[in-house]
Chains A and B, each alone.
Chain A
Amino acid sequence: MVIKDVAVIIPVYNEAKVVRGVIERVLKEFKYVVCVNDGSKDSSSEEIGKTDAYLVEHPINMGQGAALQTGIEFARTLPVEYFVTFDADGQHRLQDAQAMVKELRKGKWDIILGSRFLGSAPGIKTSKVVILKLAIRFSNITSGLKLTDTHNGLRALNRHVAETMQITLPDMAHASEMLEIIAKNKYKYKEIPVTIEYTDYSKAKGQSVINAINIGFDTLLRKITK
């Protein structure tokens, strides 16, 4: 049974090698897939064009946070009730996304977040665990929420959240910003365990550890200026 009231939003940046396979896997389970090509320099756009997914094309590279916001805004025009954000490199599992939508359907929560530390992340590097744990501390302090994983790309939102959420930080700092939005708008949130499958490909493309400094600086600066 293909799920028809969910839009799966996939931000894409230079993922030509894997993106088509990922989209086709998702399309088997979900009718609406929205790909935001964030100014890729490779043939990602053509690869997406070969599938039945909706393609939204950023004229310039704007960052993952900006791509998510674009995807959510486009998906609002589709006849769907729920929105799932999914990574293009194939590290998320479809059954986790389905479990999240199932949780949302109960109507008790506005947003469901995936946590690899409640679930599992085979093949994760130790350096990544350390930096992620620090990031979780940091984000929990700046947002006031209590979460076990704050930088996970797998999330599910209901329409209320999709209509009101406004991500302004374009790069990876959007993960912390999203938590602040959850706190500010008082969305009812829940974390569920998910499994992240670190392939060689996703490992090679992962966030560099030093970039955490940039994210921290921007998040703090925005807190002061607001």
Chain B
Amino acid sequence: MIILIQILVIFVALAVIGSVLIGKQSHSARAWKKIALSLLAIAMVIAVLFPDTTNKIANIVGVGRGADLLLYILTLAFIGYALNNYLHQQHQRDELNRLARKIAIIEAINRSKQKK
């Protein structure tokens, strides 16, 4: 039973990181992110209403306590979020740089024309 959770966590971790890294920002990728987020929120509500469920699920997959299971899921969600955000930020910075470069070059060309 212990092996089940280990395989599961490693597999899901790789899938999350892989999808963030390799996945293009397509409509479907963004939709899946929303679905995953909604599911997480629903799971949270259920876990609060029926505190026993997390323990039961944890036992099924081979984790000792429900709290541990939550921690694993949360860690995974956080790593996925952080990576996703970092890549998104870099993409935006790249676009901002291109825009600023264009302005700088236009300005410089105008300035050198005035000099002449």
Residues of A within 8 A of B (CB): 36, 54-60, 62, 66, 69-70, 73-74, 77, 168, 170, 218, 221, 224-225
Instruction: Check if B108 sits within 8 Å of A59, measured CB to CB.
Output: no
B92 touches A (CB below 8 Å)? no
B43 touches A (CB below 8 Å)? no
Instruction: For A52, give the chain B residue with the smallest CB separation.
Output: B115
Instruction: Check if B103 sits within 8 Å of A59, measured CB to CB.
Output: yes
Q: A57-B108, A58-B104, A70-B105 are in contact. Are A225 and B22 (CB under 8 A)?
A: yes
Q: How far is the CA of A60 from the CA of B86 in the complex (A)?
A: 20
**Residue in A54, A56, A57, A170 whose CB lies within 8 Å of B97:** A170
Chain B interface, >50% SS class = helix
Instruction: Check if A224 sits within 8 Å of B108, measured CB to CB.
Output: no
Instruction: Check if B108 sits within 8 Å of A74, measured CB to CB.
Output: yes
- For B79, the chain A residues whose CB sits under 8 A away are none
Instruction: Check if B108 sits within 8 Å of A54, measured CB to CB.
Output: yes
Measured as residues with beta carbon below 8 angstroms from the partner, the interface class of chain B is: 10 to 19
Instruction: Check if A168 sits within 8 Å of B94, measured CB to CB.
Output: yes
B27 touches A (CB below 8 Å)? no
- For B33, the chain A residues whose CB sits under 8 A away are none
* Given A57-B107, A58-B100, A62-B101, 13 further pairs, Cβ under 8 A: A56-B107, A57-B104, A58-B101, A59-B103, A60-B96, A70-B104, A70-B105, A74-B105, A74-B109, A170-B93, A170-B94, A221-B87, A225-B87
Q: How far is the CA of A144 from the CA of B93 in the complex (A)?
A: 28
- For A60, the chain B residues whose CB sits under 8 A away are 96, 100
Q: How far is the CA of A187 from the CA of B101 in the complex (A)?
A: 25
Instruction: For A61, give the chain B residue with the smallest CB separation.
Output: B100
Q: How far is the CA of A77 from the CA of B106 in the complex (A)?
A: 11
Instruction: Check if B112 sits within 8 Å of A54, measured CB to CB.
Output: yes
Instruction: Check if B100 sits within 8 Å of A62, measured CB to CB.
Output: yes
Min Cβ gap B38→A in Å is: 26
Instruction: For A73, give the chain B residue with the smallest CB separation.
Output: B105
- For A54, the chain B residues whose CB sits under 8 A away are 108, 112
Instruction: For A66, give the chain B residue with the smallest CB separation.
Output: B97
Instruction: For B17, give the chain A residue with the smallest CB separation.
Output: A224
